Chain A
Amino acid sequence: MNSITKSNKRDFLQIGLGLIVGAVLFIFLYVKSHNTDPQLHGKIVAEISEIKHADAEFQKALILNRYGLVSSYDQLVESNQNFLKKSEIFEQLLHSSMQSVQLSRNMAAFRQLLSEQKEFLEDFKSHNAVLKNSLRYLPQSIDNFTKTLDSNKQRQVIEKLHDLVRKVLQVNLIFDGKLLSEIDNQVADLQIDSMSLKDDQREQLALILRHAKLIEKYKVNVDVLVEKTLSIPTETALNEVFNTYLELYQTRENNAHNYRTATVVVAALLVLVVLYYMVKITRLSSALQQTVYQLKFQKFALDQHAIVSITDSEGNITYANQRFCDVSKFSYSELIGQNHRIVNHADMPKTVFSDLWSTITKGNVWRGDIKNKAKDGSEYWVASTIVPFLDENKKPFQYVSIRTDITKRKMMEAEVIQANRAKSDFLANMSHEIRTPMNAIIGLSHLALKTNLNEKQSDYLEKILSSASALLTILNDILDFSKIEAGKLTMEHTQFSLQDLINQVFALNCLKADEKGLEVMFHQAADVPNILVGDQVRLGQILSNLLSNAIKFTEHGEVVVSIGLESETANQMVLKFVVKDSGIGLTSDQQAKLFESFSQADTSTTRKYGGTGLGLAISKKLVEAMHGSIGVKSSLGLGSEFSFTARFGKAGSKDFLNLPYNKLFGKRALIADDAESARNILSDMLSGFGMQVKAVSSGEIALAELATTGKRDLYDFAIIDWQMPGMSGLKTILQIKQADFPQVKPHCLLVTGYGREEVYEEVSSGELDDVIIVTKPVVPNDLLNHLLALMGDNGTAIASPRNIARDVDDIQRLLGMRVLLVEDNAINRQVATEILESHGIEVAIAENGQTALEILAREEIDLVLLDIEMPVLNGFETIKKIRANTKWLHLPVIAMTAHAQESMREKCLVAGMNDHIAKPFDHDILFSVLARWAPQKAQYWPKRKLRKSIDSDDDCPALKGLDTCAGLKSVRGNKNLYRSLLIQFTKSYSDLSETLQRALKDNDKSLAKRYLHTVRSVAGAIGATGLAEKAWSYEQCIGERNGETCESEKLSFDNELQDVLNSISGIAEDDVSTLTQSEHDSSNIEYHTLINDLERLLKTADLEVSERISALRPFLTTNLQKTSFRSLQKAIETFDFDEALQHLYSITSDTQHSGGSKNE
């Protein structure tokens, strides 16, 4: 097709060139053929006649004058002038017609003759005048003269004179030479005769003779002149000129004729060529017509099926077929010239069109589904294919759009989507419906576990709790899976810290590994950046799944998690995550089915290990959503290696770990670890910091290495594993410290896979207090910080991202915080309230957004937990109102929903909430979220001080085993909090003695030590300093010696604990109120007045009560009171004043027995 066009183009070019050359030739010949000017030629010929005519006129005038037929020269002069003028004109014409030497020469000759003729003419005129006068005067004068003579005497003279007259007149008529000589003789004779005459007569005669002589002379002259004038060959000369001209003209005319002939030939040739091409074109066009016909037929066929339109490069419609008109409901004329946007539907995202245009303007074909709008506003869907037509410059000059009406399909799709949505809504709803009771089950189980229970009850509850947790996991898995199946999985693209994520994943899983005694190791290649852009939660989910699987299926050995950089582009990278275990492994059959939905290695596995079998299927989907792939390598009994890749965006700034590296660059480190993988991981990590590393497999070799190094190769750091065969880590470090090395001793780091506390004990007992303990898995940030700290560079150390708050420290940070819980569900409210209060967090309660706003306006609130689905004012409306008030712009608000979907979380954040937690709460997550958003301590505590003014030693009640002053101080004087801490202590540790006994009996020293360690810190916090000391001694004792020898420590600890518990229960019975009594006293009168007023108003069914009722709120202390208050409000709202009165009474009665009702 293209080559045909090209050859055609070449053909046309040739034809065009040929025609142009032909035309130029034609024009040239045409001009040449018009070289003669027939008009001018005609003029010249006419002028010749004119000249000849003028010549004739002149000659006529000359003859007339000569013979005296006219008496004036005017005619003669004029005719001569006319003749000359005509000649001049003729010459000019000739000159303008052509130039030729011959012609000029002839013309010059002619001119010469003319001027000669003129001179003759002038002479003729002068002489003729004289002749005329003399001829006239001579007879007269002779007559007069003879009269004066004597006719006798002078007869002879008289006769001679008469004879003279006769002869002169005769000569005048006929020229005769003989006569002339006779006249001469006669004159001479008369002159002789005159001698005899008298003077005057002689003079007269002389004059007569003079005239005669003049006549004689001029007569000849005049005749000769006339003859000469007439005989001058002016006509011959003129003819010569004319003939020369004619010859030249003829030649030229012949040439022109030849050119004319050539012109005709060229013209004929041109016509032939044109005809030839016309025939050719006609043939071509008939072929074209056939093609056009074919195309038309194809177009007809196309039009029957498709909606077709053509637009120019600007998108203006130049063609639209009938179907287009039909479907768009525009008429053809309405469409033509309009931009194609006329049918665009506002619903279509702009990106579709920008993509469309960027595709087709580049000359590519675009395909896609578009929703269009018809003239009447109705919408229709089309599947479009837009094809750009390109010109020679590969630039599109028009676009052809072929579309199929897919409205029906789209409607069906919409229905399907609708059905799917209904399905997922159902799932979401179900999840909500399931979660709400689950929340109650889990929450209440937690709470119930904290009460006094016998062993059986405790066991049942724990099983309920674990079953519920398992159920929740399954629920989450199913939800996730259904979401993925529905294609509703959306990946976030936010910046996050890989390190933080790893920490979180490890924190959630390592406890189990600890329990199993597994070593979990982490290795991150040095070139993996810490800050990534992607979906943190989903990555965590995958890692968590793989890690928990690995831990789950590994009985002993190690689990290694490693991260490496697979590939990298300017703004993206692919990371490879590997989780390797030394577990049970998989058969190849199992591997094949592993990532399929609802399948585990086998059903027996399910029975043994639990789980839905969805985890890996979900992980696979998630990995795919991250543009990666997941796979497994495994051999049965030896372990498995799961690996996956995932694509991440790069963060704007480079890895923030890079900076402090400089300090460590070139430093030397010695690693001693028996596990090769651990050695490799540490080596790589340290090398990544730019350090020189040597790794050895035991403490002995390490010592030997240190002993043999020269001064130059000093080791700055020794990183020793705690548990090694042969020489243990501690022993090695001790040896290093005690050894007598020639050089400065290296800083020592002890790496441990076990709980920190146990190691601490050993370290402190071994006087190795300057040894840094690093827990496995070792994360680069932690290690870096430790190394930098040892280098004396604490200030620039990188703050390690905090683990999820599950430490006592974290929770203690939240002590005394005031949280507003906004929740409509009573059970949820109770669960949340008690969880929070049990951790020393003050809780204000609101049933809906409206109440929440009122409370916020009235009270100082540090944080809000906001339910979303509530009556009166829901969570979204509430947050809108909260954020509308500038005072609460930065108030942390955390949404609580039973919707676990990501979309809900996003919706909450968009609405202005700071975070989101899903119900039922995971305790850890709840406190982690609270810790994250809790206001800074520095601003936090003084505020409390202002609110609660009691802070003097006088207010510390003396209690056995408790330094209440110290305890109150630790909670910054918050007595309520202190009280709840004390109660919580009772709940947690009332059976501690038995627990310890049990643990020691099982020979689980570490568990016992952990309990003691924990109780020590808690005891310190509540002011039970004695108990703390006793716990410390007991803990030390257990660590150092065998159980039996610690009897005295056990006894003193048990006694002290009992004292403390008794003291607390004493408070619970009668003294807690004393702690808060002063507060109540101050407002007692006010309170009673209010109650009386309310009672009166309710009895009289006065509506004012609804306004006064809120004034009661500050006086509510117990939960029962608060519950009753809400019922009271509800009753008032429904105008059931009798019931309201009952609720009021229940509030007042609870106030009266508040001490008793508390402790149940």
Chain B
Amino acid sequence: MSQYISNLKYAAVTVCCVVSFGGQSFVLDNTNFPNEPISPLPLAHHQDPAKISVGRALFNDVRLSKDNTVSCATCHRIELGGTDHLPKSMGVEGQIGNLNAPTVFNSGLNFLQFWDGRAESLEAQVDGPIHNSHEMATSWPELLSKLQADSALMESIGKAYGVALSESVVKDAIATYERSLLTPNSRFDQYLRGDNSALSDQELNGYQLFKSYGCVSCHQGRGVGGNMFEKMGVVRDYFADRGNITTADFGRYNVTGKEDHKFEFKVPSLRNVELTAPYFHDGSAQTLEQAVNVMAYYQLGRKIPDEDMQAIISFLKTLSGELPEHAL
């Protein structure tokens, strides 16, 4: 009898699923040009304000480091475009890191975290700097015991989470805060959403050149990058020219161990790119022009004339969005 009922249920569920198949589709928010490779950032982040608040506090908390000198915000400075403007960041005891600190803005949209994409999520990413001896150089037990002493923090965690302090709470709070750090409503997004006056001719021209030179093959999607890996030096050998190759330069190879994946890095998002110099995983490009040049030379195997270069740069600058109020 009961089995019969469950069979009926199964049938009903199946019918429902079949019906819902047809209804599902991807919604692209490109009013202006539906098939544009770039789509605008979502205007709202949909994160819990209480958790954001806890996350912000932890993001700025130096107790997350071994000697209470380094917080997340030390390298990802919100007021400076979510990065520290250093080629390579400085961790505890003044140690210099191996890679350039990427911006924390819109990092929630990245398909993976870290230059080599070794973290599946922002939560998983937190583990990295905490344990990295060049960065925070601490451990969860040490860190949690330090936080435990902060009754105000404990109270706000209690309110936001309803559970006691734990590793996963810390991770979730920081990740939640980071996911809220979207920079929507850039001029380019305004253009995409139908405001044709949002961009100048040169900027529009720059966008056309960005597409025609093939930059957009990698820097596409909502984040204008951040959804794929690419080899640094596709057409020409970047590292042979640069020299002084380190393990960090092996990129995705360090994760998969496959020779093919050597020198592959996550394509960085170009959102707010104007604010996030220096560029590349090794922070070797100090200016946008330099960066675009390097990209054209090594990735495209082309030389971009100065006029085009200026247009492209002016386009790139339209990608700077609005910093949410709660970020600071």
Contacts and interface: CB of A to CB of B under 8 A. Distances in A.
A126 B228 contact: yes
A45 B10 contact: yes
Interface stretch (B219-227, B282-290, B305-313): B219-227
B217 A133 contact: yes
Interface in B231-257: 231, 234-235, 252, 256
A886 B218 CA distance: 135
Interface in A72-93: 72-75, 77-79, 81
Interface stretch (A206-214, A608-616, A648-656, A778-786): A206-214
Given A45-B14, A49-B14, A77 B302 contact: no
Given A49-B17, A53-B17, A137-B214, A42 B6 contact: yes
B26 A126 contact: no
A220 to B, nearest CB: 14
A141 B303 CA distance: 11
Contacts of A78: 26
User: Interface size class for chain A?
Assistant: 35 or more
Nearest to B302: A137
A207 B235 contact: yes
Contacts of A1088: none
A119 B228 contact: no
B234 A214 contact: yes
A73 B230 CA distance: 13
Contact of A57 (B24, B220, B301): B24
A72 B228 CA distance: 10
B5 interface: yes
A46 B229 contact: no
Nearest to A133: B214
Given A74-B221, A133-B214, A41 B10 contact: yes
Nearest to A74: B221
Given A53-B17, A71-B35, A42 B10 contact: yes
Contacts of A257: 2-3
B160 interface: no
Contacts of B212: 136
A974 to B, nearest CB: 115
A33 B2 CA distance: 9
A46 B35 contact: no
Contact of B6 (A33, A41, A133, A136): A41
B300 A53 contact: no
Interface stretch (B36-44, B78-86, B128-136, B316-324): B36-44
B13 A46 contact: yes
A71 B10 contact: no
Contacts of B220: 71-74
A42 B220 CA distance: 39
B16 interface: yes
A995 B231 CA distance: 178
B323 to A, nearest CB: 23
A125 B229 contact: yes
Contacts of B169: none
Interface in B32-75: 35-39
A683 interface: no
A122 B16 contact: no
Contacts of A73: 220-221, 227-228
Contact of B301 (A45, A210, A260): A210
Nearest to B1: A260
B18, B35, B217, B231 — most chain A CB neighbours (10 Å): B217
User: Interface size class for chain B?
Assistant: 35 or more
Given A49-B14, A73-B221, A129 B230 contact: yes
A45, A50, A72 — most chain B CB neighbours (10 Å): A72
Contact of A260 (B2, B229, B230): B2
A814 interface: no
A36 B4 CA distance: 13
A50 B301 contact: no
A207 B222 CA distance: 32
A1150 interface: no
Contact of B17 (A50, A77, A79, A125): A50
A772 interface: no
A97 to B, nearest CB: 13
B264 interface: yes
A81 B35 CA distance: 22
B121 to A, nearest CB: 10
A1061 to B, nearest CB: 134
Contacts of A829: none
A38 interface: yes
A125 B256 contact: no
A77 B218 contact: no
A38 B21 contact: no
A132 interface: yes
A211 B235 CA distance: 8
Interface in A94-150: 119, 122-123, 125-126, 129-130, 132-133, 136-137, 141
A36 B28 CA distance: 42
Contact of A38 (B5, B35, B234, B256): B5
A824 interface: no
Contacts of A470: none
Contact of B214 (A53, A123, A132): A132
A27 interface: no
Contacts of B235: 207, 210-211, 214
A253 interface: yes
Contacts of B10: 41-42, 45
A1008 interface: no
Contact of B39 (A46, A74, A125, A214): A74
A70 interface: yes
Contacts of A46: 13-14, 16-17
Contacts of A438: none
Contacts of B222: 74
Contacts of A53: 17, 20-21, 24
A42 B228 contact: no
B3 A253 contact: yes
Given A132-B217, A210-B235, A257-B3, A71 B36 contact: yes
A50 B18 CA distance: 9
A788 to B, nearest CB: 102
Interface string A213-224: 010000000000
B216 interface: yes
Contacts of A45: 10, 13-14
A469 B289 CA distance: 167
Interface string B84-101: 000000000000000000
A39, A41, A130 — most chain B CB neighbours (10 Å): A130
Given A49-B17, A129-B217, A36 B35 contact: no
Given A74-B222, A133-B300, A126 B2 contact: no
A211 B236 CA distance: 11
Nearest to B215: A133
Contacts of B228: 73, 77, 122, 125-126, 129
Interface string B118-151: 0000000000000000000000000000000000
A256 interface: yes
Contacts of B2: 33, 36, 38, 256-257, 260
B24 A72 contact: no
A72 B1 contact: no
A450 B323 CA distance: 154
Interface string B198-221: 000000000000001010111011
Interface of B: 1-3, 5-6, 9-10, 13-14, 16-18, 20-21, 24, 26, 28, 35-39, 111, 212, 214, 216-218, 220-222, 227-231, 234-235, 252, 256, 260, 264, 300-302
7 contacts: A42-B13, A71-B37, A71-B220, A74-B39, A123-B260, A126-B230, A133-B214
Question: Top 7 A-B pairs ranked by shortest CB distance?
Answer: A71-B37, A49-B17, A133-B214, A38-B6, A74-B221, A129-B217, A125-B228
Given A50-B17, A122-B229, A129-B217, 8 more contacts: A46-B14, A49-B18, A53-B17, A71-B216, A74-B220, A78-B26, A123-B260, A126-B230
